[in-house]
Amino acid sequence: MPALPSFIINPLWGQFAALLPEHVETHPLGCHNPRVSDRIVFDKLIQVLVLGAGYAKIADSTCSATTIRRRRDEWITAGIFAELEQICLDAYDRVVGLDLADVTVDGCIVKAPCGGEVAGKSPVDRGKQGTKRSVLADGNGIPLGVIAAPANRHDSIFLRPTLAKLARFETRFGIGLPEDITVHLDAGYDSTKTRDLLAELGCEGVISIKGFPLQAGRRWVVERLNAWHNRGFKKLLVCTERKLRVIDALIALANSVIIIRRLIRTAWTTHRWDTRPARRP
């Protein structure tokens, strides 16, 4: 059974394949073993991301764990994962439209049992190794950017670099970002430092007040996005990767899947195309 339904993985692969650089044979005699197909490696990487299994568990006679890791690193160096995420965001913005007037930032702590560059003692897991994701979502919960950091760092420290992800939309379709942007935050950001930062960036802030529960407001969309990350991609729920560049690449790939799923689900009621699913996904 595939890790993702065909109506998601096929368009994802089609765009991913278009970004792949042409392979250049470097063996002086040209007698390497036959190169494993990029599609096979891509499918294996999707299985690693969705199922959360180790590379050795996913490997089989068609593709070894070493090949998956090597090809993954080649694609990271070429910047393909980040470019794929941006293309998916642009496609969603053209067809449906991103709600950039109301954005939400929230932190999510997950396990990191193998340690690594962005692992730290988790304050919610008895000091075990953990990783934090600072997530930026638009008004409908579409992932706009993620910052990975050690779990023992406070959310507010990463508010500035997380909001800096909005810079990718400054030139979108000639209209850029909205003039008035409202940032929705939970009580963990309730501080003068946060308000000063938002004022510096020219943003309005809707921040939950400490000591008063049940102040969800419009923040529920980022909580749902955190659930999509953790429940849909077991590799993000238990992060066993040690290198930041690999974690960022897997997050970008997961975001691309989420964006394509939301694009198809939203466009299903407003558009028609040849490969449209028979039922609403």
User: Do 191 and 167 share a domain, yes or no?
Assistant: yes
User: Do 38 and 158 share a domain, yes or no?
Assistant: no
Task: Provide the number of structural domains found in the chain.
Answer: 2
Distance from C-alpha of 170 to C-alpha of 152, rounded to nearest angstrom: 32
What residue has token string 């308000």? 195
Distance from C-alpha of 24 to C-alpha of 140, rounded to nearest angstrom: 42
Strands (E) across 34-128 are located at 102-111, 120-121
User: Do 122 and 195 share a domain, yes or no?
Assistant: yes
pTM above 0.75, yes or no: yes
Give 104-156 pLDDT, tens digit per residue: 999 999 999 999 999 999 998 888 999 999 999 999 999 999 999 999 998 88
Q: What is the dihedral of CA 123, 129, 134, 140, to 10 degrees?
A: -90
* Domain, as residue range, for 261: 1-95+244-281
| Torsion sign, CA atoms 66, 57, 251, 89 | positive
Provide, rounded to the nearest whole percent, the portion of the chain with pLDDT above 70: 95
- Which tops the pLDDT comparison, 244 or 266? 244
User: Do 214 and 132 share a domain, yes or no?
Assistant: yes
User: Do 46 and 138 share a domain, yes or no?
Assistant: no
Q: Is 96 helix (H, G, I), strand (E, B) or coil?
A: coil
User: Do 72 and 112 share a domain, yes or no?
Assistant: no
User: Do 232 and 250 share a domain, yes or no?
Assistant: no
